[in-house]
């Protein structure tokens, strides 16, 4: 399910273009979903509709769990969560300064280098924040 009323169609187009730029410049990225804090897909890259919806829902849940763990541990708000396996990585990062709040969930294969992936995802989040800040 898409969060149709979260941002405008123009903003969705801007987000999809930014996700494509991220994918083209970051080796190993297989899919990416911009998601609302309540778990709905806002924009997606290289993901079928069903998978994008599931990734958005799970990404939102992971972001909430990581925030709860950080709070319980007495540390500052969690800005990203990384799940690693032998086959690849899933990273969920908050997109700063957006209202309504959003996050980016990224799936990368084993060809990705974690540092490059995190740098690329952070850059993507910063660009999304800049470009969507006055669009949503």
Note the pLDDT tens digit of each residue in 101-124: 999 999 999 999 999 999 999 999
Distance CA 107, CA 77 (A): 22
Q: Angle of helix 114-132 relative to helix 9-25, nearest 10 degrees?
A: 160
- Token couple for 9: 């169609």
9-132 CATH, one of 3.30.450.30, 3.30.470.20, 3.40.50.170, 3.40.50.300: 3.30.450.30
Inter-residue contact 96 to 126 (CB < 8 Å): yes
- Residue 3, pLDDT above cutoff 50: no
Nearest to 108 by CA among 25, 10, 2: 25
DSSP 57-79: HHHHHHHHHHHHHHHHHT-PPP-
Task: Give the pLDDT of residue 46.
Answer: 75
Q: Is the pLDDT of residue 20 over 60?
A: yes
Answer yes or no: is pLDDT of 17 > 70: yes
* Predicted local distance difference test score (pLDDT) of residue 93: 94
Q: Is the pLDDT of residue 2 over 90?
A: no
Q: Residue 50: pLDDT above 90?
A: no
Q: Provide the token pair at 132.
A: 């969507």
Residue 76: per-residue pLDDT: 83
Mean model confidence pLDDT for the chain:
89
Q: What is the pLDDT of residue 1?
A: 43
């Amino acid at each position: 399910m898409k969060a149709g009323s979260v941002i405008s169609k123009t903003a969705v187009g801007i987000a999809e273009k930014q996700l494509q730029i991220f994918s083209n410049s970051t080796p190993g990225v297989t899919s990416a979903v911009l998601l609302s804090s309540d778990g709905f897909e806002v924009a997606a890259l290289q993901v079928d509709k069903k998978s994008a919806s599931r990734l958005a829902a799970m990404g939102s849940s992971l972001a909430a769990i990581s925030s709860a763990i950080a709070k319980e541990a007495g540390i500052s708000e969690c800005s990203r969560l990384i799940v690693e396996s032998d086959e690849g990585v899933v990273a969920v990062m908050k997109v700063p300064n957006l209202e309504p709040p959003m996050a980016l969930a990224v799936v990368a294969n084993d060809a990705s280098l974690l540092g490059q992936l995190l740098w690329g995802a952070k850059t993507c989040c910063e660009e999304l924040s800049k470009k969507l800040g006055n669009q949503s």
